[in-house]
A and B are shown apart, each in its own frame.
Chain A
Amino acid sequence: MSGKLDLDPALVAQARELARRAGQPVTDLARTHTTVSVERAMLRLAGLDGADEDGMPWVNRLTDAVRESSGLEHGAALPVWDAIRCGGYPDLRTLAVDATAGLVKFRLPAGHEAEAARDAAARSVEKGISLIDGRRAERDRMIAATSDPPNPWIYLIVATGDIYEDIPQAQAAAREGADVIAVIRSTGQSLLDYVPEGATREGYAGTYATRENFRLMRAALDDVSRELGRYVRLTNYASGLCMPEIASLAGLERLDMMLNDCMYGIIFRDINPVRTFIDQRFSRQVHARAGIVINTGEDNYLTTADAVDAAHTVVVSQLLNEYFGREAGLADAQLGLGHAFEINPEVPDSFLLELAHAQLIRELFPDAPLKYMPPTKHMTGNVFAGYLLDAFFNLAGVMTDQSILLIGMMTEGIHTPFLSDRDLALENVRYVRRAAGRLGGSFRPEPDGFVAQRARQVLAEAIDLLRTIGSQGLLNAIAEGTFGVTKRPADGGRGLDGVVERADGYYNPAAEMLELAGGRGGSSPRGGTAEVRS
């Protein structure tokens, strides 16, 4: 991409280096700790599915039993596969049932017994990783057999709470032009420390993320992809207390994109920062392997803070998300960094400011499939004015070459979109694409004009903030309330009790395989084949 803003490459490199320095200590923390959800994700990859009669998944029951009996600091794998061998269990499920009933005494095996447990665990998890590889290849075949839509991808949300209502709505949306379908999760799922099971028909303002719901929706979108000759992608949320598990289920069921932000759960859901960073690293390693594009959540910052004043916090968070993402093995083509069109329309030159921000981000992350979010904060209930604002959002999106456009609804904040709201929204974006799709090529901000200056100012502010974060440490910065309006101390929030420091000899076959292999890039809307990490 040729630069339109004349950004100083040295300054850009400095920003990246500051982000790395801020993030590195947190990465070290993630490498030396595990969580209950990381261990459960390993068990899921090894094939343990299902739940007991109370709906509590067997992975939770088994992990809890191991933790109680022998601790998790060496990982769940050695005690579990040792118990399978010693107890002559035919499979993980049978072991989990007995363990739940308190019939299994776990121990940390040593010597050749440890070797045997290691080998057995590795073989089981390998099967899960191969399944994910198979799903990835299947996606490539599906895209080859249908087609990959051009940029920007049109991203639409369904959220009925009932997977069987979501399916026809998603198919209808795809027929009307949606390239990506996101199924919003039920309110509060991010705070559940387990993943619900089965097809679900009751959610609050969204549908539970479950493996079966993933499978049903992906199958339905495969049908409609074949019908349309265009691959329709599926998105869900790997955030909250079960990030690693949901990422694994997404890989196993061929989801294509996942919401996965490095700090969202901390700031907006009061999930413990340490837990979040550990879970996040593992989940991103899974996404890297599965060829899943992550979507980060910077748009959220602008819903709580002023979009002009806080513009640089978006850039800071993107740089951190990029650092953490690359470190976990994600290719640039898998980094769907987020931002949003949330400046108050009453502000003079608001559209120019939006263009400056969007173009800055485009140039900072030239190979990332940027995800651009529509106005929500200043949608007033005047649906006619909202429709106009959404058109300006679409225009900014095509002018600055954004990769994924979440389609704005004129009824934002009023109700979950009507069928007709969605149809009108798609008509809006189709018009803008048809009328001005090539405007980006002719859009050249004046070298030292308002847009270019504003972009450089935001970058400078981002660098200042990164410097501050670097000097105090990222966890301290979060504790001090640097992001969003709330203070989140490292020992506060939910889920800290699920964090365990790894002991010498910690073994998690999934973590090991993902660490060694890294990601292999993703199929992204920027098109290019992603870089291969060795």
Chain B
Amino acid sequence: MSLAGKIGEIGIVRPYGDTTGDGRVQLSFTLPVPFGDESERARAEGAALQLAAKMGMDPAMVVHAKGMGPDFTFFIVYGRVGHVVDLSAVTVAEREFPVLPAAEVNLRIRSALGRKLVVVGACIGTDAHTVGIDAILNVKGHAGEKGLEYYREIRVVNMGSQVGVADLVARAAAEHADAVLVSQVVTQRDAHLTNTRQMAAAFHAGFVRRPLLVVGGPRFDPGAARDLGVDKIFGRGTTPREVASYLVHALAPAGAHQ
């Protein structure tokens, strides 16, 4: 067994440059310091080395420094870090569902449902802020990810803003919605919570097999789903792929067949 293998077994590793245990890494960054005349350049490189040292690189070498405009300098630094990685202490955040690529989402829906998954989305109450629901639903999407409309196996009905709960329930029934997505941005007098409870109550009362209820907005507590009567709450920064993956997790589990 190689030395690297042995160290791995113990559970302690260092970065690998070209020799086991050499701890060599590369780093690039910008400092807001000028890189003009000779003394400025010397000071800039010194500043970069100081940062590298504080980041645990010793020895460190500035291999590239370049002024960008009058006020900034870009650096590329190579060096050895003294830190070790203890693999036994690595923690992995558990997520209740895996985030899947679009093709996988489509495949799972096809094999589990044998038809398109129907999503009805809306901003309810007086809330006119459709930024959230549109970021999740529109093809345009959000954060470099296409919205749910982009998924071939998802049919999206976007009802827009200021939708009444009764209209939402009726539309969800008419479309045979598998899931209802509701976005709430306005939080005055806890309007988002009141609206959500109302909406959930209407769905619980109006259906034998109600659609999955998903709520999103920047001010929700993601842990409050049960309290509000919904199945899932998404917070700020949620991407369309996460939502699609959750829908598949809840409605089209792996291995299920129609």
Q: Which residues in A have some Cβ–Cβ distance to B below 8 Å? A: 172, 175-176, 187-188, 191, 204-205, 267-270, 303-304, 376, 413, 418-420, 423-424, 484-486, 494
Of the residues B131, B135, B139, B142, contact of A267 by C-beta under 8 Å: B139
CB-CB nearest 6 A-B residue pairs = A188-B131, A268-B140, A413-B144, A420-B74, A423-B68, A420-B30
Are B134 and A485 closer than 8 Å at their CB atoms? no
Are B131 and A269 closer than 8 Å at their CB atoms? no
| Residues of chain B contacted by A187 (CB below 8 angstroms) | 131, 135, 142
Are B149 and A486 closer than 8 Å at their CB atoms? yes
How far is the CB of B30 from the nearest CB of chain A, in Å?
5
Are B74 and A423 closer than 8 Å at their CB atoms? yes
Are A269 and B69 closer than 8 Å at their CB atoms? no
Binary A-proximity of B120-164 (CB < 8 A = 1, otherwise 0): 000000000011001100111011101001101000001010000
How far is the CB of B208 from the nearest CB of chain A, in Å?
30
How far is the CB of B163 from the nearest CB of chain A, in Å?
13
28 pairs across A/B with beta carbons < 8 Å? A172-B69, A175-B69, A176-B69, A188-B130, A205-B143, A268-B139, A268-B140, A269-B138, A269-B139, A269-B140, A270-B139, A270-B149, A270-B158, A303-B146, A376-B144, A413-B144, A419-B30, A419-B74, A420-B29, A420-B68, A420-B74, A423-B66, A423-B68, A423-B74, A424-B74, A484-B139, A485-B150, A486-B149
Are A172 and B139 closer than 8 Å at their CB atoms? no
Interface membership of B20, Cβ < 8 A: no
Asked whether A304 and B138 contact (CB < 8 A) given A270-B158, A419-B30, the answer is no
Are B152 and A485 closer than 8 Å at their CB atoms? yes
Of the residues B69, B72, B143, B146, contact of A304 by C-beta under 8 Å: B146
Are A268 and B138 closer than 8 Å at their CB atoms? yes
Interface membership of B28, Cβ < 8 A: yes
Are A191 and B130 closer than 8 Å at their CB atoms? yes
Asked whether A191 and B28 contact (CB < 8 A) given A270-B158, A420-B74, the answer is no
| Residues of chain A contacted by B140 (CB below 8 angstroms) | 268-269
Are A485 and B149 closer than 8 Å at their CB atoms? yes
C-alpha spacing A420/B68, complex, angstroms: 8
| Residues of chain B contacted by A494 (CB below 8 angstroms) | 160
C-alpha spacing A486/B158, complex, angstroms: 13
| Residues of chain B contacted by A485 (CB below 8 angstroms) | 139, 149-150, 152
| Residues of chain A contacted by B135 (CB below 8 angstroms) | 187-188
Binary A-proximity of B69-112 (CB < 8 A = 1, otherwise 0): 10010100000000000000000000000000000000000000
Are A176 and B68 closer than 8 Å at their CB atoms? yes
**Range of interface residues on B (Cβ < 8 Å):** 20 to 34
| Residues of chain A contacted by B139 (CB below 8 angstroms) | 267-270, 304, 484-486
Are B131 and A204 closer than 8 Å at their CB atoms? yes
C-alpha spacing A304/B149, complex, angstroms: 11
| Residues of chain B contacted by A205 (CB below 8 angstroms) | 143
User: In the complex, which residue of chain B has the Cβ closest to the Cβ of A485?
Assistant: B150
C-alpha spacing A229/B74, complex, angstroms: 26
Q: In this complex, which of B28, B72, B74, B143 has the most chain A Cβ atoms within 10 angstroms of its Cβ? A: B74
Are B30 and A418 closer than 8 Å at their CB atoms? yes
C-alpha spacing A444/B28, complex, angstroms: 41
C-alpha spacing A484/B140, complex, angstroms: 11
Within 8 A of A (CB), among B32-85: 66, 68-69, 72, 74
Within 8 A of A (CB), among B192-209: none
C-alpha spacing A485/B72, complex, angstroms: 44
Are A191 and B134 closer than 8 Å at their CB atoms? yes
Binary A-proximity of B162-192 (CB < 8 A = 1, otherwise 0): 0000000000000000000000000000000
How far is the CB of A230 from the nearest CB of chain B, in Å?
16
Are A420 and B28 closer than 8 Å at their CB atoms? yes
C-alpha spacing A418/B72, complex, angstroms: 12
| Residues of chain A contacted by B142 (CB below 8 angstroms) | 187
| Residues of chain B contacted by A420 (CB below 8 angstroms) | 28-30, 68, 74
Of the residues A172, A268, A269, A486, contact of B68 by C-beta under 8 Å: A172
C-alpha spacing A347/B135, complex, angstroms: 31
C-alpha spacing A484/B72, complex, angstroms: 43
C-alpha spacing A269/B149, complex, angstroms: 10
C-alpha spacing A435/B172, complex, angstroms: 60
Given A267-B139, A268-B139, A270-B139, 17 extra CB contacts under 8 A: A172-B69, A188-B131, A188-B134, A191-B130, A191-B131, A191-B134, A268-B138, A269-B138, A270-B149, A376-B144, A419-B74, A420-B28, A420-B29, A485-B149, A486-B139, A486-B149, A494-B160
| Residues of chain B contacted by A419 (CB below 8 angstroms) | 30, 68, 72, 74
| Residues of chain B contacted by A413 (CB below 8 angstroms) | 144
| Residues of chain B contacted by A175 (CB below 8 angstroms) | 69
| Residues of chain A contacted by B134 (CB below 8 angstroms) | 188, 191, 269
How far is the CB of A13 from the nearest CB of chain B, in Å?
33
C-alpha spacing A270/B150, complex, angstroms: 12
How far is the CB of B162 from the nearest CB of chain A, in Å?
13
Q: In this complex, which of A191, A270, A494 has the most chain B Cβ atoms within 10 angstroms of its Cβ? A: A270
User: In the complex, which residue of chain B has the Cβ closest to the Cβ of A175?
Assistant: B69
| Residues of chain A contacted by B152 (CB below 8 angstroms) | 485
| Residues of chain A contacted by B149 (CB below 8 angstroms) | 270, 485-486
| Residues of chain B contacted by A303 (CB below 8 angstroms) | 146
| Residues of chain A contacted by B158 (CB below 8 angstroms) | 270
C-alpha spacing A418/B158, complex, angstroms: 35
C-alpha spacing A279/B55, complex, angstroms: 55
How far is the CB of A436 from the nearest CB of chain B, in Å?
23
| Residues of chain A contacted by B29 (CB below 8 angstroms) | 420
| Residues of chain B contacted by A172 (CB below 8 angstroms) | 68-69
User: In the complex, which residue of chain A has the Cβ closest to the Cβ of B29?
Assistant: A420
